Structure 1
Amino acid sequence: MAILTGIVAFYTDPTSISNTSEFWGIIYINISVVLIIFYIMSVLFLWYIEKNITTPIESISEITDDYTNDDDNIENSEKIISEIKNFTEDKGEIGILANSLEKMIINLENYMEKLRKVTSEKERINTELDIAKKIQESILPNKFPAFPNKVEFDVYAMSKSAEKVGGGDFYDFFLIDENHLAIVIADVSDKGIPAALFMMIAKTLIKSNLLNENTPDEAFFNANNQLCEDNDQNMFVTAWMGVLEIDTGKFTFVNAGHNPPILKDNEKSVWLKSSPGFVLGGIKDIKYLQNKITLKPGDRLLLYTDGVTEAINNKEEFFGEKRLIETFDKKGDSQIKEVLDSIKDDIDLFAGDIDQFDDITMLILEYKKE
């Protein structure tokens, strides 16, 4: 009681305190009271921080960890959002953080859903393209030598589907009879399974028309009309076809909007140009013009699709017709398989690390009869 009386007296009249020890005792008591009050305020402040900031942040952090580390929660985001909503009513920073996290999860779920759809669609397209490649590979003749009992000529062909497309190109060669060989190369306007199926139909129609003793121009005329029927997809085929009379070397050919082949004789390589007719499957009753030449022993004919000349490098340059004919000239005296392999190697070297964007298809015919 004396100390309390001294404190009151100290604050009301400091001069009333004459004893030094009593003075310092009062000072110490004041300091102690201040420290106790400070301690109590600190505890209350920390309790407030713990309750209103630290604990909610830890809870939100745990919810976030659960969401990011547990696949089931990613699939069941409604539960996570309901847990976050417990904090969204807060008017301070915690509420802002919770609302932001809720929006982030909703946006992320929407993005994931879109990504799942895109991935599913991409897988479907890749599956379709893979099927198209297999269809293409399965119907193209690929056993060589193709006619081991025929010494008058030799034929070799190859088709390399692009990585992301397929089904558009095809080639064919077959004996119409013992004295006539047909060769065909073509390119369908579309890609994927529709193109692969259209390719099969076009290949079958061209072959069946030739086997029915039609001339090349008649075969194209009939095949074109048949392809135009029920062509709801408006697809078409560029095609080039020739028929070799084996014992004489007479060669009859017709063009339906396709690249002209290259003819190499003992002197040089030249383009075997002709008046190109309209594509197959575009318009009915189109007339096709036949052309004729006579092949000499040693002559070679190179057929190709536009994936060869339109191969592109990292400078956005095309491989082009000039490089093609130069490569054919350079390797023209090698075995015909080596010639096509060499052209393909030159294309790959030219393109470098640029992905092949179109099918590369080539066929070479060599006439040997003396």
Structure 2
Amino acid sequence: MGEKSVEQPEGFGERLLGLLLDRAQQMPPQLIAPLIAEEVARIGGRDVSILLQDYAQELLVPLPGRKLHVSQPQPVADSPAGRAFLRAQIVEVPQADVGVRMYLPLLDGSDQVGVMALTLDTVGDDDRRLLRRLAGLVADMLITKNAYTDQFFLARRREPMSVSAEIQWSLLPPLTMSLPQVVVAGNLEPAYRVAGDSFDYALNDNVLHMALIDAMGHGLDAAVMATVAIGAYRHARRVFISLAEKYVFMDDAISQQFGPDHFVTAQLMHLNIATGEMELVNAGHPAPLLIREGRVVRQLESATTLPVGFGGELPRVKEHTLQQGDRVLCYTDGIIEEHVAGGEPFGEERLIACVNRLGEAPSEGMRADLRRLSHTLKRERGGRTSDDATLFMIEWRGGAADHLAVLD
């Protein structure tokens, strides 16, 4: 394989991808990666590794398995594997002895699953084309098999995880969705102890539906309440049309299940990805921040609405219009209420200052930018996250809705 032959890579590609597709349905999870390693070895590839992102989004950890090369975890922030992961691009590193180490992002649609690494003696365009397609198929298989094995979860978990955190992670949609018209990315802290925070989204036709919630309390009680809130939201999203009706349905579900002393703060949005028109209901959350050209220009205010579960009146929906390239940053109160040195809350002004400072650097894509913001905020808070602290960002890019390319 390499630049010497044009026909061989394509023929091999058909055989390799066809073999994987033919056997995927009946293949047990533990045999996927060894099969890939075997096939790559037949054309000169070696030291195949599958690296998955840990739950704290700090490391890419090797998936153990027969015939796989298991190395040390690679930092997401500063490694070739991390660059491939964050930028969703192939990264090639020439080796001191012979060959090229290739790092290929594993993309399930537009969500980054991890990275596949391997070494080839020489690399040509045919190799890159085939391996990019192979990486896409591997990512799809990992997502499919993840539904009925704990193998991938255990590889990603770097420390003990609370029951409430297990519940919350099982609720989440993919952390990133990237389309030509819109990009979304979310992040949960503390990754291994999160309880009441969660988010959800869905793109139905031209409307992006989004919800960010924070259930009162801590531990398992908060996780159970968040589960009911997200379940009610999804049901309402699939039945009702208006944003106000979603709020009412969630409010009824929480009040009937938990009584008048329990509540969930929520932020609900509709974004028309063709026009940039946004509807917002804010039920007890800090107002989202509108970011334009890397700087916070204002808060997206909305009419006062009681938290979900208090039996509030039908909420008034606030309308906003985004410009192409605008970002909307939503966050839970754990971000700004954490106490820093001296005992004062971190506060919104510090949050805005961090966003503006990071916005001065070139963007590396939504997921990379949000991850960098999350870790910067944690450092600014002295490394403490005593309450759930969640970030969720939307970038509206606009443009025609018939593009087929996936961008980030």
TM-score using structure 1 length: 0.60
Q: Does 1:172 align with 2:204?
A: no
Alignment correspondent of 1:328: 355
Q: Is the 8 A contact 2:216 2:263 kept in 1?
A: yes
Q: Distance in 2 between matches of 1:192 and 1:349?
A: 24
1:365 aligned partner, one-letter code: I
Work out whether residues 328 and 339 of structure 1, in 8 Å CA contact, stay in contact via their aligned partners in 2: no
- Displacement of 1:268 in angstroms is 4.6
Residues 261, 359 of structure 1: alpha-carbon distance in 2 compared, 3 angstrom cutoff: same
Aligned partner of 1:359 in structure 2 is: 388
Q: What whole-Å deviation, never above 9, does each CA across 1:227-283 have from its counterpart, x for those lacking one?
A: 211324832100011111111111111111111000112475211111220010122
Runs of 4+ in structure 1 over 6 Å off: none
Match of 2:344 in 1: 317
Q: 1:256 to 1:143 in 2, by over 3 A?
A: closer
> What is residue 308 of structure 2 aligned with on the other side?
280
Report what 2:246 is aligned to.
219
TM-score normalised over the length of structure 2: 0.54
Bigger proportion of residues as helix: 1
Between the aligned partners of 1:268 and 1:309, the Cα distance in structure 2 is 16
2:375 aligned residue:
345
Matches within 5 A, 1:199-238: 199-232=226-259, 234-238=261-265
Equivalent pair of 1:129/1:166 in contact (CA under 8 Å): no
SS at match of 1:230: helix
Q: Is the 8 A contact 1:162 1:356 kept in 2?
A: no
1:296 Cα deviation from its structure 2 partner: 1.3
Q: In the aligned structure 2, how far is the partner of 1:132 from the partner of 1:350? A: 26
> Would you say 1:161 and 2:190 are equivalent positions?
yes
> In structure 2, what is the equivalent of residue 130 of structure 1?
162
Gapped regions of structure 2 (runs ≥ 5): 1-159, 400-408
Partner of 1:369: 398
Instruction: Give the aligned CA root-mean-square deviation in angstroms.
Output: 2.2
User: How do residues 263-278 of structure 1 correspond to structure 2 at under 5 angstroms?
Assistant: 263-266=290-293, 268-278=296-306
Contact 2:260–2:310 (CA under 8 A) maintained in structure 1: no
- Taking the aligned partners of 1:258 and 1:337, their CA distance within structure 2 comes to 23
- Kept in 1, the 8 Å contact 2:189–2:390? The answer is yes
Query: For 1:232 and 1:338, how far apart are their aligned partners in 2?
Result: 40
Match of 1:302 among 305, 310, 329: 329
Query: What fraction of aligned residue pairs are identical, expressed as a percent?
Result: 27
Conserved in 2, the CA contact under 8 Å of 1:184 and 1:239? Answer: yes
Say whether the 8 Å CA contact 1:324–1:343 is kept in structure 2: no
* 8 Å Cα contact 2:188-2:390 kept in structure 1: yes
State the partner residue of 2:134: none
- Distance (whole Å) between structure 1 residues aligned to residue 344 and residue 234 of structure 2: 36
Aligned residues: 236
For 2:194, the aligned partner's letter is G
Per mean C-alpha deviation after superposition, the further-off stretch among 259-268 and 132-141 is: 259-268
SS state of the match for residue 352, structure 2? helix
Note closer, same or farther for the CA distance 1:225–1:233 as it changes in structure 2 (3 Å cut).
closer
Letter paired with 1:309: I
- Work out the CA distance in 1 between the residues paired with 2:262 and 2:195: 13
Query: Quick check: 2:374–2:391 contact (8 Å CA) kept in 1?
Result: no
Question: Superposed, which structure 2 residues align to 1:10-29 within 5 Å?
Answer: none
Q: Given the alignment of the two structures, is residue 192 of structure 1 paired with residue 219 of structure 2, yes or no? A: yes
Residue of 281, 286, 301 corresponding to 1:254? 281
What is the alpha-carbon distance in structure 2 between the residues aligned to residue 232 and residue 294 of structure 1?
Answer: 37
Rg (Cα) greater in structure: 1
Compute the displacement of 1:173 (Å): 1.3
Q: 1 or 2, which has the higher strand percentage?
A: 2
| Contact kept? 2:187, 2:374, Cα under 8 Å | no
For the structure 1 residues 168 and 347, does the alpha-carbon distance in structure 2 shift closer, same or farther, using more than 3 Å as the test? same
**How far apart in 1 are the matches of 2:332 and 2:296?**
21
2:184/2:395 contact within 8 Å kept: yes
Q: Does 1:244 align with 2:268?
A: no
CA distance in 2, matches of 1:326, 1:307: 17
Q: Displacement of 1:171 after TM fit?
A: 1.0
